[in-house]
A and B are shown apart, each in its own frame.
Chain A
């Protein structure tokens, strides 16, 4: 399955590469589900090709790649012009590919979010330091809220972290064990099932739990806020085109057609500038990346 996705992605990239030279703008996304992502991006692509016609853009393509490394490579060689993702991964790809995050993307009315670490209400764990000898569940290695932000929080305790074989495995008393659940939902399911002692999720996950088992869980730590999603442009993009893209995306919420398009584009609310500026926003994120790099996570 994974092999097939890679082949499909490569094909798209090849086609896109050829066409990019002929006034083609390529949009990029990292995911295994190529079909779903192409469906999600198509309304935006159609919108952009219409809006950017004055810039000589005759086609807007979509490139869905399986890994951040693939995306970084594609951006570096100019196969992907615009790339959409959560901030930490996006920052990672941008740094590697020489690209630049330039707009914030709101989703479901949320412009910023953070990560929390929750435990059952009746647990004796009160702080991160109580996590010694406890297994914590993360979503997956490329998840910003499900892994990167919370793992940085846990690392601040200085307690050694070790990835376990599975939930059957247990950490030693002076270390924190962690497992990847694969999904935010699985994290809270496993937590609810008692398979793990703590779980990293975002406020939405806690809301689900509050809804189904009110008062059964509580949060013990909260990360800093990061943008919900960001848009990255490749380095060396034509300045006029880049400026025009920035205007078009930013102005989408001003027109009903733009709003309709954003709603179809995976519940996007709007695009706007980073309130604290690009550097102030991404400074901590790059530091986080450095730490994760030291951890060998990335």
Chain B
């Protein structure tokens, strides 16, 4: 604020309210006082002047009579010349002269132009001669006197005086002017004084008002200094004490509101304030900063293992180490001491550390420091923490979003940092990642897919397709593999290899598996109900499903429900699943095998099989992966591997189904190699279950070709 502003503010403040009223009252008093003094003075002057005039005129006449008489007696009026000249020079004497009984002008002074002995015709003089007594007239502020000089009743001459009161009045007017000038000066001084006094009296109040207003605006550092020893000073001291208490209370409230209880670091609200402020105030500046999102990699496990108490202590240690890392990189951390304090100056290396909740922390740092800081933090956090006597290792993953490159709003920045953090997690944890838009897009698509999948599971939007399997030697249809198909409501058909991994990652696989199993059992029952030679319907089951204690019972339930023969159902598990040495799995498999359900190892040749275990499991079928089949006719190594597998299958008494047969050449090879069954486009593409069923029923038993399928023969 400029000096001018301050001055005008002071003037405005001091002319308002109390100060103005005080000034007005004091001014009024001074005006009345000055007016009364001037009036009294003028009245006194008037009386004095009137008295003086009367006295002066009388005195002059008496003096002139005294002086003139001897000269008249000596008949020597010439001797009076000097006297009258002197008297005539007096300012209030307009004219004074002496006239002989013959009305001859003898001597005089003042404003008279009469020659010696010239005749004077004057009514007043005539009256004086006539009466022998003094005559006087007051007219137009001139006192005219004609006074006879008599000796023994004889008039020797008449003294004639014009005494001009106007000059006295002029003089009095001059006095009045002087009075008014002095009064005005006094008034001016008085007004200034009253202004000064009023503002002096009211300035503490104005100060207090301004301070209170400032405090109301949130400026708790307001303090006032009143340099006096009166009640105002006490009030000022009380105000200051109040402000101090208020400040303490505000700080406490502030701390409660914005400080995280566990770590003592600022909390999410405060971080949001800071970010909001930053994004608003730097919207058009060239400032660049980074929002870093940190997450402890194994916090949940630690909480579960060691309890929340240790978890909280770890968070506190983590927070402290984080702060230390930041300081080591030359950053200055803001705390919640004042909400007026905003992160503003990145040139000074100011930074923010806040805990968002759980095991999530967020930092705001200058962009140029972000990379080095993240590396430093990751490496420091890799060292173990000693918490409550335990040594705990907990790495961290950091996601970094840059303002304004990645996002310009608070929500978006946090979201981007969060996404980047997940990218870091996906990147193997214990590392940091900058936000990447492409990855983010994929993630978004994936999460959309996840939501859609959940909905699809809920509404059973999956369809079962069946792909026929044939005997290699005869070309006779002898089974089908149930394959899942998903028609997305907006995106159309989604490949299983796209949605199944997603479903697996969010734990939906068992539910989907159940849906498919139920459909497959139903289809097996429906199709085989009218066939003499039953078709075996194979369905894929995941390890997660098999790990369920109720799996076997559920399968039995469905078999009963649809009145399907267990031997028409073949459960395909992957090679890896088969190798899993799980008691639960083994138990479930055993139960189902006991009632005749067949088991097949899917995609054989892709995983690592323990041959001993393979034999022990005694699976009914091995399904040779399509990757081995594609080498037929081109790759002797593949062909020799196929021979080996077929020999091995023969050795353990398992049927073999070759997948992915697309050419006659492949089929011929299989036939020559002695492979039992095949599946593939050469034989028939997967078709919807009901289409398959209708087709199968229309064909009856024996070699057949499905719609769009090549006959085996």
Q: From known contacts A33-B82, A36-B82, A212-B104, infer whether A188 and B76 are also in contact, taking CB-CB under 8 Å.
A: no
| C-alpha spacing A193/B106, complex, angstroms | 12
For this complex, 8 residue pairs linking A to B, each with C-beta atoms less than 8 Å apart, are A182-B78, A186-B76, A186-B78, A189-B77, A189-B116, A195-B75, A208-B115, A212-B119
Question: What residues of chain B lie closer than 8 Å to A211, measured between beta carbons?
Answer: 115, 118
Q: Does A293 contact B (CB under 8 A)?
A: no
CB of B637 within 8 A of chain A? no
Cα-based distance from A47 to B118 in the complex (angstroms):
39
State A209–B115 Cα separation when bound (angstroms).
9
Residues in B whose Cβ lies below 8 Å from that of A190: 75
Determine the residue in chain A with the shortest Cβ distance to B115: A211
A246 at the interface (CB under 8 A from B): no
Given contact pairs A186-B75, A189-B100, enumerate 11 new A-B contacts (beta carbons under 8 Å).
A182-B76, A185-B116, A186-B78, A189-B78, A189-B104, A193-B75, A208-B115, A208-B116, A212-B116, A212-B118, A213-B117
What mask results when residues 40 to 78 of chain B are scored 1 for a CB within 8 Å of chain A, else 0? 000000000000000000000000000000000001111
Beta-carbon contacts under 8 Å, B67-104 to A: 75-79, 81-82, 100, 104
Closest chain-A Cβ to B107's Cβ sits at a distance in Å of 8
Q: Please indicate the chain A residues that have their CB under 8 angstroms from the CB of B77 in the complex.
A: 185-186, 189
Contact in complex: A185, B104 (CB < 8 Å): no
Check B79–A189 contact: CB distance below 8 A.
no
- A189 pairs with B106, CB closer than 8 A: yes
Residue of B nearest to A192 (CB): B117
> In the complex, A38 Cα to B75 Cα: how many Å?
29
Closest-by-CB residue of B relative to A139 is: B78
- B residues near A, CB below 8 A? 75-79, 81-82, 100, 104-106, 115-119
Complex Cα–Cα for A167 and B82 (A): 25
A185 to B76, CA, bound (A): 8
User: Knowing A33-B82, A36-B82 touch, does A188 contact B75 (C-beta < 8 A)?
Assistant: no
Contact between chains at B82 and A188 (CB < 8 Å): no
The answer to whether B79 and A208 have CB atoms under 8 Å apart is: no
Q: A208-B117, A212-B115, A212-B117 are in contact. Are A183 and B75 (CB under 8 A)?
A: no
Q: Smallest CB–CB gap between A154 and chain B, Å?
A: 22
Contacting residues, chain A, for B104 (C-beta < 8 A):
189, 192, 212
Q: Closest approach, in angstroms, between the C-beta of B375 and any C-beta of chain A?
A: 108
- A209→B117 contact, CB < 8 A: yes
- Complex CA gap A190/B191 in Å reads 72
Closest 4 CB pairs of A and B: A183-B78, A185-B78, A212-B118, A212-B117
Docked Cα-Cα span, A84 to B104, in Å, equals: 34
- A184 cross-chain contacts in B, Cβ below 8 A: 78
B76, B79, B117: most-surrounded residue (chain A CB, <10 A): B117
B82 cross-chain contacts in A, Cβ below 8 A: 33, 36
Is the contact region of chain B dominated by helix, strand, or loop, or is it mixed? mixed
B157 to chain A, nearest CB (A): 12
| Interface flags, A81-106, vs B, CB<8A=1, else 0 | 00000000000000000000000000
B519 to chain A minimum Cβ distance, whole angstroms, is 145
Fill in one digit per residue for A188-220: 1 if any B CB lies within 8 Å of its CB, else 0. 111011010000000000001101110000000
Docked CA distance A189–B75 (Å): 8
Give, as a whole number of angstroms, the nearest-CB distance from A202 to chain B.
13
Q: What is the distance, in angstroms, from A118's C-beta to the closest C-beta of chain B?
A: 13
Chain A's closest residue to B78 (CB) is: A183
Which single residue of chain B is at the shortest CB-CB distance from A33?
Answer: B82
Question: Which residues from chain B contact A208 at a C-beta distance below 8 Å?
Answer: 115-117
0/1 string, A159-191, CB within 8 A of B gives 1: 000000001000000000000011111101110
Distance of B643 from chain A, by nearest CB (Å): 157
Q: Which of A33, A183, A193, A209 contacts B76 (CB 8 A)?
A: A183
For the complex, give the distance between the alpha carbons of A199 and B79 in Å.
18
User: Who on chain A is nearest to B118 by CB?
Assistant: A212
Contacts of B79 in A (CB 8 A): 182-183
Residue from B77, B81, B116, B119 having most chain A Cβ neighbours under 10 A: B116
Q: Nearest chain-B residue to A190 (Cβ)?
A: B75
Contacts of A182 in B (CB 8 A): 76, 78-79
Which A residues touch B78, using CB under 8 A? 182-186, 189
Q: How far is the CA of A189 from the CA of B76 in the complex (A)?
A: 9
The distance in angstroms between the C-alpha atoms of A183 and B106, with both chains bound, is 12
B residues less than 8 Å from A167 (CB atoms): 75
Q: How far is the CA of A212 from the CA of B75 in the complex (A)?
A: 18
Binary CB contact string for chain A from 8 to 20 against chain B (1 if under 8 A, 0 otherwise): 0000000000000
Residues of A within 8 A of B105 (CB): 212
**A11 to B93 Cα, complex, angstroms:** 36
Q: Which B residues are in CB contact (< 8 Å) with A186?
A: 75-78
A contact residues around B81 at 8 Å (CB): 185
Measured in the bound complex, the distance between the Cα atoms of B100 and A36 in whole Å is 27
Q: Which residue of B lies closest to A193 (CB)?
A: B75
With the chains together, A190 CA to B76 CA distance in Å?
Answer: 9
CA distance A195 to B82 in the complex (A): 24
Contacts of A213 in B (CB 8 A): 117, 119
Residues of B within 8 A of A33 (CB): 82
Contacts of A189 in B (CB 8 A): 75, 77-78, 100, 104, 106, 116-117
Q: What 0/1 readout, one digit per residue, does chain A (210-240) give for beta carbons within 8 Å of chain B?
A: 0111000000000000000000000000000
Once bound together, how far apart are the Cα atoms of A211 and B114, in whole Å?
Answer: 10
| A184 and B117 alpha carbons, distance in the complex (Å) | 12
- The chain A residue with its CB closest to the CB of B120 is A212
Please give, as numbers and ranges, the residues of chain B lying within 8 Å of A188 by CB-CB distance. 116-117
Determine the residue in chain B with the shortest Cβ distance to A207: B115
Specify which chain B residues have a CB less than 8 angstroms from the CB of A195 in the assembled complex. 75
Q: Smallest Cβ distance from A99 to chain B, in angstroms? A: 30
- A192 CA to B116 CA, complexed, in Å: 11
State how many angstroms separate the Cβ of A8 from the closest Cβ of chain B.
17
Within the complex, the shortest CB–CB distance from A181 to chain B, in Å, comes to 8
Alpha-carbon separation in the docked complex, A181 to B77 (Å): 10
Nearest CB in chain B to that of A216: its residue: B117
In angstroms, Cα B83 to Cα A33, docked, is 13
Among A183, A193, A208, A212, max chain B CB count under 10 A is at: A212
- Residues of chain A within 8 A (CB-CB) of B100 are 189
CA distance A183 to B75 in the complex (A): 11
**Min C-beta distance of A169 to chain B, whole Å:** 14
Q: How far is the CB of B250 from chain A (nearest CB, A)?
A: 91
Closest to B106 in A: A189
Assembled-state Cα–Cα distance A36/B82 (Å): 10
Residues in A whose Cβ lies below 8 Å from that of B116: 185, 188-189, 208, 212
The CA-CA distance from A159 to B118 in the complex, in Å, is 34
- Closest-CB distance, B516 to chain A (whole angstroms): 142
Q: How far is the CB of B33 from chain A (nearest CB, A)?
A: 50
Cα–Cα, bound, A167→B79 (Å): 18
In the complex, which of the residues B76, B78, B105 has the most CB atoms of chain A within 10 Å of its own CB atom? B78
Least distance between B67 CB and chain A CB atoms (Å): 14
B112 to chain A minimum Cβ distance, whole angstroms, is 14
Residue in B closest to A205 when the chains form the complex, CB atoms: B116
B637 to chain A, nearest CB (A): 148
Q: Which residues of B contact A193 (CB under 8 A)?
A: 75
Which residues of chain B come closer than 8 Å to A209, judged between CB atoms? 117
- With both chains docked as a complex, state the minimum distance between the C-beta of A1 and any C-beta of chain B, in angstroms: 12
Distance in angstroms between the alpha carbons of A167 and B73 in the assembled complex: 13
Chain A residue, CB-CB nearest to B101? A193
Chain B's closest residue to A186 (CB) is B78
Report which residue of A33, A182, A183, A186 has the largest number of chain B beta carbons within 10 angstroms of its beta carbon.
A186
Q: Which residues of B lie under 8 Å from residue A212 when comparing CB positions?
A: 104-105, 115-119
How many angstroms from the CA of A208 to the CA of B116 in the assembled complex? 6
How far, in whole Å, are A204 and B672 apart by their CA atoms in the complex? Answer: 186
Q: What is the bound-complex CA distance between A182 and B81, given in angstroms?
A: 13
Question: Which residues of chain B come closer than 8 Å to A192, judged between CB atoms?
Answer: 104, 117
Closest to B119 in A: A212
* Shortest distance between the CB of B158 and any CB in chain A (Å): 16
Closest to B74 in A: A182
Q: How far is the CB of A35 from chain B (nearest CB, A)?
A: 10
How many Å from the CB of B223 to the closest CB on chain A?
77
- Give the distance in Å from the alpha carbon of A54 to the alpha carbon of B402 in the complex: 105
Q: How many Å from the CB of A143 to the closest CB on chain B? A: 12
